[in-house]
Amino acid sequence: MDMKLTPWLAILLLLASTAITFGKEVVHGFVGSNGIEPYSIVILIFALAYICISLDESGLLSYVAVHVTSRWGRNGRVLLLCFYALSTIMAVITNNDVVVLCLTPIICIFSDTTGADAEPFLIAMFIAANTASMALFIGNPTNIIVAEANDISFLSYSAWMGLPFLGAAVAGIAVLYLTSLRKIPQTIAIDMSIRPRDMLRNVRQAVVGAGILVSCLIALSVSSFFGVAVWIVTLPFGVAMLLVDSAIDIHTSRSARTLAIIPGSVSVSEPDIQLHEIPVAPLPLASSSVTAIVEPSDQVKSSGFRKTKLAKSLKRAIISIIHTSEIRIPTVSAVLRRLPYGIIPFSLGMFIIVESLSQQGWTPRLAWVLKRMCSSPAAAVFIVGAITTLACNVLNNLPMSILFSRALQHPIFAQVESSSRRGAMFALIIGSNVGANFTLVGSLAGLMFQGIASQKKREIGYFTFMRWCAPVMVAQLVAACAILVAELAVVQS
């Protein structure tokens, strides 16, 4: 079964068994509580996703990737470091999903043209993307969930997570470099016929899109001083990117049609074929006597035929609209197709399940266990970091973040000393990001990464992924948690 529909199967079973009710758990799961508002999180994710995917559609990200490959790609070990650094930078300014979507096929193409083994480069890209996603508020939906639940501002988040991210990034590349030396060739023959400039599909869109993304990040930083909700800040920039893409597409399509018209000739195209030009044989008119003896079953059949005809006409109209959109606004259509729609049913379903666990008393039990373990800031950071990292690979990082956010907000855990509570909160963010570097099921990005690699005939199995990533993940977790403990100690002193 598709992963995004699994929570809803569980919800239907719970409703059928009367373990939960629609008016309580389901409604509260949609509306949200305790600072976790599902609708605002979904809006924020989609606004940012549109901006980042639009940048990718413009070819800007591919341009940067091919430029790095052609500039430093002759030395395999240097190229590994470059891909790691490039993935890190791209994930900081966009998010981990966009990096996986953009760079996975590029690395596979690079491998096909050079003969180099793609596996170490793919793993380096994936680890860097998931590590760098903890740097900023917008890097991962799990960051958004935890920050929104605890009212953490954009600047405050960046200040606390900047150093742990850098520590995890350095530890990750150090371990990965040492463990992959034997699989990376010293020299690689680069195909110089692939030029970076050829990757740019629309220069104007790339420039404007980069400006909108930078402006969005600046606005998010400034909004921290005014207490404006993050989704309210981000949504206008997503809409602005949509309008810019639409305007550029319409202008480009009009210019193409203008160039296609030859002076003095008659344009022949699909719109010239009008429906009224098609001869239609007149239907015979039925007399009143015939109408009077029509059987009821014939009327039902006629009604069913009309409904079928209406459904087919509606289907043709929808297909026509989609086809016209792909011609008139191709960029917008491409971006809309790539938006992570699966996150809507998955995240909302998990919100409802977590609400059900809370109503059934499991959230306070988890809060009590965490309270007993978090006896000091250091214990809180390392224990919560380790537990949430492992929990990612049992529950997936998105539902895990929802569940643990609720537990850390519970009045039972509120009895813990404030520095330990803060440490546990940021350790949850570390675990939700680094935990995705342990197994492929740790995050939705992992499943997406495996799917794209498989399409490119690069099979990365579950245990192969663990063998590459487990040592890296442990080093990253220890480094990030140690830096976070040091930050807490400095602030406390």
For the chain, the first-to-last Cα distance in angstroms comes to 52
Is the pLDDT assigned to residue 266 strictly greater than 70?
A: no
In which residue are the tokens 């009224």 written?
276
Predicted pLDDT of residue 255: 72
Residue 60 neighbours by CB under 8 Å, 6+ apart: 200, 206, 209, 210
Beta-bridge partners for 187:
75
Predicted pLDDT of residue 133: 92
The amino acid occupying position 170 is V
Mean pLDDT, range 170-179, rounded to an integer: 94
- Between 52-66, 81-95, 301-315, the lowest mean confidence (pLDDT) is in 301-315
Structure tokens at 311: 């459904």
Rounded Cα–Cα distance for residues 317 and 243 (Å): 24
Rounded Cα–Cα distance for residues 408 and 425 (Å): 7
Predicted pLDDT of residue 202: 84
Structure tokens at 485: 């403990």
Predicted pLDDT of residue 292: 43
Element spanning 243, H or E: helix 230-260
Calculate ∠ Cα 43-46-51, nearest 5°. Answer: 130
Compute the chain's Rg from CA coordinates.
27
Half-sphere exposure of 46 (CA within 13 A, CB side): 18
Mean pLDDT, range 396-416, rounded to an integer: 89
Rounded Cα–Cα distance for residues 97 and 445 (Å): 6
Is the pLDDT assigned to residue 476 strictly greater than 90?
A: yes
Predicted pLDDT of residue 473: 95
Sign of CA dihedral 82, 83, 89, 92: negative
In which residue are the tokens 């509306």 written?
31
Is the pLDDT assigned to residue 363 strictly greater than 80?
A: yes
Mean pLDDT, range 194-218, rounded to an integer: 85
Rounded Cα–Cα distance for residues 142 and 393 (Å): 14
Is the pLDDT assigned to residue 276 strictly greater than 50?
A: no
Q: What is the DSSP letter of 442?
A: G
Beta-bridge partners for 144:
none
In which residue are the tokens 């791209």 written?
90
Is the pLDDT assigned to residue 275 strictly greater than 50?
A: no
DSSP result, 156-225: HHHHHHHHHHHHHHHHHHHHHHHHSGGGS-SB----TTS-GGGG-S-HHHHHHHHHHHHHHHHHHHHHTT
Q: What percent of the chain has pLDDT over 90?
A: 29
Nearest Cα to Cα of residue 106 among 132, 67, 53, 54: 67
Rounded Cα–Cα distance for residues 352 and 357 (Å): 9
Structure tokens at 10: 């569980």
How confident is the prediction for the chain on average, in pLDDT? 81
- Measured CA distances, 149 to 34, 35, 38, 394, 418 (Å): 7, 4, 11, 22, 16
Is the pLDDT assigned to residue 263 strictly greater than 80?
A: no
- Between 28-32, 74-78, 158-162, 235-239, the lowest mean confidence (pLDDT) is in 28-32
- Between 300-314, 333-347, 448-462, the lowest mean confidence (pLDDT) is in 300-314
Is the pLDDT assigned to residue 214 strictly greater than 70?
A: yes
pTM equals 0.73
Rounded Cα–Cα distance for residues 404 and 435 (Å): 14
Mean pLDDT, range 26-55, rounded to an integer: 77
